[in-house]
Structure 1
């Protein structure tokens, strides 16, 4: 494996609304749904809180990806976080997830394709998991007063397939203008 190669480092899923997800040997992505057997899979919103008031909206959060470089940053600040613990399905290394444009396609392994829909909007459960962690996954830009959300990105499954740790990640930028990711 080349040092600069983007790759999947871990895959995780859970059939219940638990904050952290269990690491798996593989996950199967289902087109239009998400991760097979995961509580957040589905065509319409599966986010525990948002389902109560917008249950029929399309699920733009079928797959949650997080870059393990964030764990390195957090470790330097004294927070030990490992793959799946922040609720992500796919952990990555070697790719700037937060810098991807809306609509970028991620080719994961041999078959799976995930379309990037936006940034994960981290909730207070992050602090329940580790006190003080929530503020570390936001970065305030002193100049603009805007926050950067660093706790990963969300996507929808455009083409199903099995994803395993070690799989390469290919990026296909969208056609047209580059739109930075917004929270979904």
Structure 2
């Protein structure tokens, strides 16, 4: 199983969207070099106020580009980086990965999948009604569905660029499904 990186993005300040870059550098144990969410402990602006010492399981945000295709069919104009992700991929079933899967990005970088991104209500400020497209309650099971990407920690650093290959290494079974982090 493999896919590719289509876009990389980072932002040194807190902002909903992240500008696209020619490359990003991943730093082991920290995240995307120069990104506001890089760090060994929680960097999420809201969560830092009440859980500042917890490990940062959200060092890198990855999102599947196919989501933008689906959203466009529903009338939403959303481009890579606009939902705050660092790495946008194509042909990778990010949401179907188990916890602990390793993603090999380009020649050197490796990230470990920690869980699902819990979308922020600010997404509706960006595009009204968008939250309902990426986060919903299943009326039958009562479970929440998260479609706004996955989170990961950097296990091995390296530079990541658009068009880099994405290799997937599954952990030993039994596999644990992704939960929000």
Distance 1:181 1:128 in 2: 27
The equivalent residue for 1:74 is: 71
Aligned mates of 2:36, 2:29 — CA distance in 1: 14
| Whole-angstrom distance in 2 between the partners of 1:76 and 1:91 | 19
Q: Which residue in the other structure is 1:180 paired with? A: 177
Unaligned runs of at least 5 residues, structure 1: none
Aligned length in residues: 181
Q: Would you identify which runs of 4 or more consecutive aligned residues in structure 1 move more than 3 Å?
A: none
1:5 offset after TM fit, Å? 4.8
Are residues 1:56 and 2:53 paired?
yes
Residue in 1 aligned with 2:11? 14
Pairwise CA distance, 1:140: 3.5
CA distance in 2, matches of 1:50, 1:77: 32
Deviation at 1:97, TM superposition (A): 0.3
Unaligned runs of 5+ in 2: none
Structure 2 residue 88 is the aligned partner of structure 1 residue 91: yes
* Matched residue, 1:131: 128
CA RMSD in angstroms, aligned pairs only: 1.0
1:118 partnered with 2:112: no
TM-score (norm 2): 0.98
